[in-house]
Amino acid sequence: MGHFAKSSLGKVVQLVNRKLSALGLSVLLHLLLFSAVLLAGMPSVEKKVEVKRVPVIQAHAVDGAELRARAEKKRKIREQAERKERERKAAIKRKENEKKKAAEEKRLKQKKEKQQREKQAKEKKAKKAKKAKEKKAKEKKAKEKKVREKRAKDKKLKEKKAKEKKAKEKKAKALKEKKRAAEQKRVKEKKRQAEKAQAEKIKEEKRRRQLQDEIELEAELEAETALMQSRQQNQAMQRQLSQLRTSIRRQIEKVWNKPRSTPAGRTCKVKVRLLPGGEVGGVTVMVSSGNQPFDASVEQAVWQASPFPYPDSVELRKELKELEMTFVHQE
């Protein structure tokens, strides 16, 4: 063996001298390690061989009952260990289930909270849009009212100017007629001395009748103007009242939640009492539909839609003090 190690070292030296490549150097290092291990582990030729002594096993006889007892004990220990293992796995599984349940509850809670936030945001947005719409409608109504008032004022002023012009023309005509009559009187004064008193009487009667005619005509014109204005005001009030009734009905139908189980064609008539400011003071079912949930849905919609538009006009307030409205369920 010593000769083999020396020969290997000689080959290594020769390989180094020949300047091997990287692969050769790797092989060289492995050979050096292998040679070192052989040298270190190689025993001396002169070392005595040691004989190991095998320990003697002393055996003794064991009866069958003792063997069975030992087997039973091992079985019980094994079963106890298996039972503990099952209990340990069951506890782990129970903890995992509890953890999953808690996670699911947390997820459901977060989902519910998210839905609640989305619902609140949606309601807030709808409320804001509703207020903006009501404000726009109110501004439009005020603008229309202002336009109507301006038109009525312009019409009244125009009628007044026409009346003044007509009166002026009539007065000028009367003055012209008077001058003509006076001129005729002066021309015929000498010839009609005897008829002077009669002519004066006729003239005075004519003037009185003319004045009376003017007074009656003026009274008729004033009465006609007043009647026309009254009709126009009444028509305007009826239009406003119709618009208000339509607006109130739309406002109620917008929030009306109709029961799905109600048959089509059901009709419910209610009387709505309004307080100053448009708030609902009371809802009375005058004609029932025969379906209590349907009647209740109509009453609830009226209360929920409050407050309603409330006019400035005293006449319109009287008309809107109590409203009778009929609601029909349609598919």
Query: CATH code at 303?
Result: 3.30.1150.10
Domain count, the chain: 2
User: Are 288 and 268 in contact, with CB atoms under 8 Å apart?
Assistant: yes
Domain for residue 258, yes or no?
yes
Domain for residue 322, yes or no?
yes
Domain for residue 88, yes or no?
no
Cα–Cα distances in Å, from 142 out to 10, 139, 153?
119, 5, 16
Q: Which residues fall within 8 angstroms of residue 325, CB to CB, at 6 or more apart?
A: 245, 248, 249, 252, 269, 270, 272
Domain for residue 250, yes or no?
yes
- 20 lies in which domain range? 2-41
Q: Which DSSP state fits 281?
A: E
Domain for residue 102, yes or no?
no
Domain for residue 142, yes or no?
no
Domain for residue 57, yes or no?
no
Nearest residue to 39 (alpha-carbon basis) of 31, 28, 48: 31
pTM for the whole structure: 0.33
- Assess whether the previous peptide bond of 55 is cis (omega < 30° from 0): no
Domain for residue 55, yes or no?
no
Packing angle between helix 196-255 and helix 292-305, nearest 10 degrees?
110
pLDDT digits (tens, 9 = 90+) for 299-310: 999 999 989 988
- Tens-level pLDDT at each residue, the chain (331 residues): 555 445 555 665 565 455 445 555 565 676 777 766 566 655 543 444 454 555 554 544 557 899 999 999 999 999 999 999 999 999 999 999 999 999 999 999 999 999 999 999 999 999 999 999 999 999 999 999 999 999 999 999 999 999 999 999 999 999 998 988 888 888 888 888 888 888 788 888 888 888 887 787 777 767 666 666 667 767 877 888 889 889 999 999 999 998 888 888 889 999 999 998 889 999 999 999 999 999 999 999 999 998 998 888 888 888 888 889 999 987 6
Q: Which DSSP state fits 97?
A: H
